[in-house]
Chains A and B, each alone.
Chain A
Amino acid sequence: MRLPRDLHPVAWWCWAVGLAVGASCTTNPYLLGLLLAVATITVFACRGDQPWARSFRLYLWLGLVVLVIRVLFRVLVGGNDAGHVLLSMPEIPLPDWAAGISLLGPFSREELLAAIYEGLRLATLLIAVGAANALANPKRLMKSMPPALYEVGTAMVVAITVIPQLADSARRVRAAQQLRGGERGRGHRVRSVRRLLVPILEDAFERSLSLAAGMDARGYGRAGTATAGQRRSTGALMILGLIGICVGVYAFLDSTAPRLLAWPMLALGLVAALAGFVLAGRRVQRTRYRPERWHTTEVLVALSGVVVGAGLWLVQRGEPLVAHPGVLAVPELSLVAVVAILVGIAPVFVAPPPLTARNRAPVAPEPAEEPAKVAA
């Protein structure tokens, strides 16, 4: 029996990143559509009743906006009459300093498809991230960070949690603004956007300030016992490590760079960064109350994401026509690609049901005995 509990947030993020990697490996609209379906079904099946779970719809809208903008942009600067022209528009040449770019012009079916494919890929990436955001409790994610990254993690978490809070305060402000009526006259649309934004932003700033103050007052970010020298050496190691990684990655990707800079530099950077991590982690005096545990279920969920990512990467290497079908022919599908993506739906069958207000409620009578145990 699967007891309701929250899955380890890192498992959800592994799964979502797998989906995102998969999406970035292909422009095949069928595959991308399948990925979107997998992400959406999983979110609706596995999300809890917390505020961030509701934010998924926002990401769906964001994906749609990205797609539309992509197409519109292509219409505006595309102008290429190769292929089947759908829409003939006058071409507006730009002055010399923008040579090579022209506005409008004929818009062909091929261009439309290319824009849709690329937009779809970007939207899928975004929605995969949104799925992780809706499924993984961001506050518990912060608890699973290695000690050295604790503070950075918390800062990120606060940034992530802003979105659902914004949705809440937007609802409240909109209701309140209806009490004083809409703007009239010229420019009223601009003003009515502003009248929503100003109170919402003020509210968001105030909330974040009070959260920051609250965390500070409760000891978040205490310096601990490290001496100035220790702090400097860890900082130096971290920065050196990051520089090493940057140079290494650049050299690795740019085939003209000297090979000496590629793997050796990357390795050196990684070692230095890891050393800094360990040093920083050692002097962090922070403990965990009931730490998250990593069970088989977590491994399965994370693996399913890895399979999606790795599978589509292999498809991109092995079957480029399936991964990037181009805009001239009808996209094809292959068994490997479809199976790889369908593995991503595993969490629906594996993951425990989420904790909700309803299934949490019957737990209440039980803890009444525990204080007695402690007293005994």
Chain B
Amino acid sequence: MFELREVTFRYGDRPVLDRVDLAIDHGELVLLAGPTGVGKSTLLGVVAGLVPAFTGGTLTGDVVIDGESVLDRPARERAHVVGYVGQNPPAWFVTDTVEEELAFGMEQLGLAAPTMRRRVEETLDLLGIADLRHRDLRTLSGGQQQRVAIGSVLTTHPRLLVLDEPTSALDPTAAEEVLATLTRLVHDLGVSVLVAEHRLERVVPFADRLCLLGAGGQLRVGDPAELLVDSPIAPPLVELGRLAGWSPLPLTVRDARRRTADLRARLGPPPVVVPEVPAPESTETGPEVQVRRLLVTHGSVPALRDVDLSLTPATVTALMGRNGAGKSTLLWALQGRYSATRGTVRVAGKDPHRLKPDARRRATGLVPQSPADLLYLETVAEECAAADRTASAAPGTCAGLLERLAPGIDPAGHPRDLSEGQRLALAVAIVLTAGPPVLLLDEPTRGLDYPGKHALAEILRGLAADGRTILVATHDVEFVAQVADEVVVLAEGEVVSSGTVRDVIAESPAFAPQVTKVLGPGWLRVDEVAAALASSDPTAAEVPS
């Protein structure tokens, strides 16, 4: 029904897509995956007709819908067939209320008023958002916004739904909701879905076919279980399957669990965590960050209530919780921007809100949700030099940090041209130039692929090993399993659980990483399994991981 034929796309002389062929049938869910910055969004834009109209570049090849070429038709003329939901739905909303947003597309197509009324009602029910109909779009949670965005293109009854990272900004539960909605569309309405996603672990179980976009712009299409055998990006479940030598690879936790009998036998008991002997100096100084019964309000609305928190040096703590649970507020309260309405915040023994800006920066470094807000100069080298000047650090301090965090960044490059991961590293380097012992990061994994997240985890572990205190707010369970020692879970501004990763994460089904789901509590990461296998059975170590 929908076909890309020999599609090639380039910006100037930089190729992005190289002779891509893709056919999508009725009622199929096709997953598009690939490393960060490889051109997944570009491919989706070509399908929707937004590329090259909104991006520039040259496009050759053909886009065919039902045997008819639509290559020269702009996105608006494809709107009745292709429904496109971009990244970051709030930036796409045209109207202000849920109902009007659902109707906007139909108004453009000129549907009769009674039809519009009926379809709006049907869509509200289909997506389970009927109680939100009059709500202001800005007041919705991330998951609700995403479902409204999907609904707003569904009302025009497109036959192909194109989604760009629909779950990247969502907490695990909201992501489940959105994915459940998508599968329901595929099963009940026969809509075809093309979805790009970084966190494969969420979508792979639902996908009929997988498309892997490589760095050269080549697209490989096939059965997920076959393609993932040698894919450079793989969810933990697949890595586990490769390690255990399962074939075909299990794609759902349930599949994998049924095959674990022999693996368990080879593995033996789960790794026992040796309680690390605390370094002598940390016992003397006590925790670096102390929060006692903290209440922070926005206007009259409490954002944090009775929060107790203590962070010790040389540990990485993950801060989890729903969208809007108060994670960002807690980070900014530790930084000193928000004052405590009640309770105390102590960073290195001082109240950060009372400190002068310079002293705040020396006490805590915060990397905000969009690191680009920090950057304003034309080259990486200028950014680093400016950071050195403002922190009164020796010239080259920031550049040195950056080289350690993300080696090989061209100092003459523009910060906007960096990949997500490199830009994040630059922001971290700038913030660390002032030498704060405490580092706070707000959602750093957004837009990072598995290798990118591994690299970030390495960086954070390295910084923790230097004795820094690190707090990371994130939704990404697998990332938490990799990087964190401790976890704090917030809900409605209150701490609901806190403790070591193994204790907290393994206990709650919603937050458990895939390896824990398959092998049971005690196992967190694939590398633990690999180590256990290597020690018990020397031949298993030869299985490529």
A interface, CB within 8 angstroms of B: 50-51, 137, 139, 172-173, 175-185, 194-196, 198-199, 202-203, 206-207, 209-224, 285-290, 357, 360, 363-365, 367-368, 370-371, 374
Nearest-Cβ distance from residue B127 to partner chain A, whole angstroms: 12
Is there an interface contact between B94 and A139, defined as CB atoms closer than 8 Å? yes
Q: Could you tell me the distance between the alpha carbons of A206 and B55 in the complex, rounded to whole angstroms?
A: 12
Is there an interface contact between A211 and B92, defined as CB atoms closer than 8 Å? yes
The answer, yes or no, to whether B120 is at the interface (CB within 8 Å) is yes
Q: Which of B28-36, B366-374, B461-469 contacts A (4 or more CB under 8 A)?
A: B366-374
Is there an interface contact between A211 and B94, defined as CB atoms closer than 8 Å? yes
Is there an interface contact between B390 and A210, defined as CB atoms closer than 8 Å? no
Binary A-proximity of B126-142 (CB < 8 A = 1, otherwise 0): 00001101111011000
Q: A176-B373, A181-B434, A219-B79 are in contact. Are A214 and B357 (CB under 8 A)?
A: no
Contact partner of B91 (CB less than 8 A), chosen from A207, A216, A367, is A207
Is there an interface contact between A181 and B357, defined as CB atoms closer than 8 Å? yes
The listed residue with most B CB atoms (<10 A of its CB), out of A181, A203, A217, A371, is A217
24 A-B pairs, CB-CB below 8 angstroms?
A50-B96, A137-B96, A176-B374, A177-B376, A181-B358, A181-B434, A184-B389, A184-B390, A202-B416, A210-B86, A210-B92, A211-B91, A211-B94, A216-B76, A217-B153, A219-B79, A219-B156, A220-B94, A286-B108, A287-B110, A288-B107, A289-B100, A368-B130, A371-B121
Q: A181-B358, A183-B389, A287-B111 are in contact. Are A218 and B105 (CB under 8 A)?
A: yes
Q: Beyond the given A178-B337, A181-B357, please list 5 additional residue pairs across the A-B interface where CB-CB is below 8 A.
A: A175-B368, A176-B374, A222-B76, A287-B110, A367-B133
Specify which chain B residues have a CB less than 8 angstroms from the CB of A195 in the assembled complex: 376
Of residues 184 through 221 on chain B, the ones whose CB sits less than 8 Å from some CB of chain A are none
Nearest-Cβ distance from residue A11 to partner chain B, whole angstroms: 18
Is there an interface contact between A218 and B111, defined as CB atoms closer than 8 Å? no
Binary A-proximity of B452-487 (CB < 8 A = 1, otherwise 0): 000000000000000000000000000000000000
Is there an interface contact between B357 and A220, defined as CB atoms closer than 8 Å? no
Q: A216-B50, A217-B48 are in contact. Are A181 and B361 (CB under 8 A)?
A: yes
Q: Could you tell me the distance between the alpha carbons of A220 and B84 in the complex, rounded to whole angstroms?
A: 13
Q: Could you tell me the distance between the alpha carbons of A287 and B115 in the complex, rounded to whole angstroms?
A: 11
Contact partner of A218 (CB less than 8 A), chosen from B138, B153, B434, is B153
Specify which chain B residues have a CB less than 8 angstroms from the CB of A184 in the assembled complex: 389-390
Q: Could you tell me the distance between the alpha carbons of A210 and B41 in the complex, rounded to whole angstroms?
A: 13
Is there an interface contact between A288 and B113, defined as CB atoms closer than 8 Å? yes
Nearest-Cβ distance from residue B55 to partner chain A, whole angstroms: 9
Binary A-proximity of B10-54 (CB < 8 A = 1, otherwise 0): 000000000000000000000000000000000000001110011
B interface, CB within 8 angstroms of A: 48-50, 53-54, 74-77, 79-80, 82, 84, 86, 88, 91-96, 99-100, 103-113, 116-118, 120-122, 124-125, 130-131, 133-136, 138-139, 152-153, 156, 332, 335, 337, 357-358, 361, 365-368, 370, 372-377, 386-387, 389-391, 416, 430-431, 434
Is there an interface contact between A287 and B113, defined as CB atoms closer than 8 Å? yes
Contact partner of B365 (CB less than 8 A), chosen from A179, A198, A199, A209, is A179
- Say what secondary structure dominates the interface of chain A: helix
Q: Could you tell me the distance between the alpha carbons of A50 and B479 in the complex, rounded to whole angstroms?
A: 37
Q: Could you tell me the distance between the alpha carbons of A216 and B391 in the complex, rounded to whole angstroms?
A: 45
Q: Could you tell me the distance between the alpha carbons of A357 and B134 in the complex, rounded to whole angstroms?
A: 10
Q: Could you tell me the distance between the alpha carbons of A184 and B75 in the complex, rounded to whole angstroms?
A: 48
Is there an interface contact between B54 and A218, defined as CB atoms closer than 8 Å? no
Task: With CB as the reference atom, state the residue of chain B lying closest to A179.
Answer: B366
Is there an interface contact between B135 and A221, defined as CB atoms closer than 8 Å? no
Is there an interface contact between B54 and A209, defined as CB atoms closer than 8 Å? yes
Is there an interface contact between A285 and B110, defined as CB atoms closer than 8 Å? yes
Q: Could you tell me the distance between the alpha carbons of A287 and B114 in the complex, rounded to whole angstroms?
A: 11
Contact partner of A213 (CB less than 8 A), chosen from B54, B117, B337, B386, is B54
Is there an interface contact between A363 and B130, defined as CB atoms closer than 8 Å? no
Task: With CB as the reference atom, state the residue of chain A lying closest to B365.
Answer: A179
Specify which chain B residues have a CB less than 8 angstroms from the CB of A214 in the assembled complex: 86, 91-94
Nearest-Cβ distance from residue A86 to partner chain B, whole angstroms: 42
Nearest-Cβ distance from residue B124 to partner chain A, whole angstroms: 7
Contact partner of A180 (CB less than 8 A), chosen from B49, B110, B374, is B374
Task: With CB as the reference atom, state the residue of chain A lying closest to B364.
Answer: A179
Is there an interface contact between A374 and B121, defined as CB atoms closer than 8 Å? yes
Nearest-Cβ distance from residue A142 to partner chain B, whole angstroms: 9
Is there an interface contact between A181 and B108, defined as CB atoms closer than 8 Å? no
Is there an interface contact between A179 and B108, defined as CB atoms closer than 8 Å? no
Contact partner of B131 (CB less than 8 A), chosen from A211, A212, A367, is A367
Q: Could you tell me the distance between the alpha carbons of A220 and B416 in the complex, rounded to whole angstroms?
A: 30
Specify which chain B residues have a CB less than 8 angstroms from the CB of A207 in the assembled complex: 91
Q: Could you tell me the distance between the alpha carbons of A202 and B378 in the complex, rounded to whole angstroms?
A: 13
Task: With CB as the reference atom, state the residue of chain B lying closest to A192.
Answer: B376
Specify which chain B residues have a CB less than 8 angstroms from the CB of A371 in the assembled complex: 121, 124-125, 130
Is there an interface contact between B387 and A374, defined as CB atoms closer than 8 Å? no
Specify which chain A residues have a CB less than 8 angstroms from the CB of B92 in the assembled complex: 210-211, 213-214
The listed residue with most B CB atoms (<10 A of its CB), out of A50, A213, A220, A364, is A213
Is there an interface contact between B112 and A177, defined as CB atoms closer than 8 Å? no
Q: A176-B368, A210-B86 are in contact. Are A218 and B430 (CB under 8 A)?
A: no
Nearest-Cβ distance from residue A156 to partner chain B, whole angstroms: 14
Specify which chain A residues have a CB less than 8 angstroms from the CB of B53 in the assembled complex: 216
Task: With CB as the reference atom, state the residue of chain B lying closest to A222.
Answer: B76
Q: Could you tell me the distance between the alpha carbons of A296 and B335 in the complex, rounded to whole angstroms?
A: 53
Is there an interface contact between B91 and A221, defined as CB atoms closer than 8 Å? no
Q: Could you tell me the distance between the alpha carbons of A285 and B390 in the complex, rounded to whole angstroms?
A: 58
Is there an interface contact between B390 and A182, defined as CB atoms closer than 8 Å? yes
Specify which chain B residues have a CB less than 8 angstroms from the CB of A289 in the assembled complex: 99-100, 103, 106-107, 113, 116-117, 120
Nearest-Cβ distance from residue B515 to partner chain A, whole angstroms: 35
The listed residue with most B CB atoms (<10 A of its CB), out of A179, A183, A223, is A179
Specify which chain B residues have a CB less than 8 angstroms from the CB of A194 in the assembled complex: 376
Q: Could you tell me the distance between the alpha carbons of A158 and B512 in the complex, rounded to whole angstroms?
A: 43
Contact partner of A175 (CB less than 8 A), chosen from B106, B125, B133, B337, is B337
Specify which chain A residues have a CB less than 8 angstroms from the CB of B357 in the assembled complex: 178, 181-182
Contact partner of A202 (CB less than 8 A), chosen from B103, B104, B372, is B372
Is there an interface contact between B108 and A220, defined as CB atoms closer than 8 Å? yes
Is there an interface contact between A218 and B372, defined as CB atoms closer than 8 Å? no
Specify which chain A residues have a CB less than 8 angstroms from the CB of B431 in the assembled complex: 179-180
Specify which chain A residues have a CB less than 8 angstroms from the CB of B365 in the assembled complex: 179
Specify which chain A residues have a CB less than 8 angstroms from the CB of B332 in the assembled complex: 175
Specify which chain B residues have a CB less than 8 angstroms from the CB of A374 in the assembled complex: 118, 121-122
Is there an interface contact between A360 and B88, defined as CB atoms closer than 8 Å? no
Specify which chain B residues have a CB less than 8 angstroms from the CB of A179 in the assembled complex: 335, 361, 365-368, 374, 431
Q: Could you tell me the distance between the alpha carbons of A368 and B131 in the complex, rounded to whole angstroms?
A: 6
Task: With CB as the reference atom, state the residue of chain B lying closest to A196.
Answer: B376
Is there an interface contact between A363 and B134, defined as CB atoms closer than 8 Å? yes
Specify which chain A residues have a CB less than 8 angstroms from the CB of B80 in the assembled complex: 219
Is there an interface contact between B77 and A223, defined as CB atoms closer than 8 Å? yes
Is there an interface contact between B121 and A218, defined as CB atoms closer than 8 Å? no
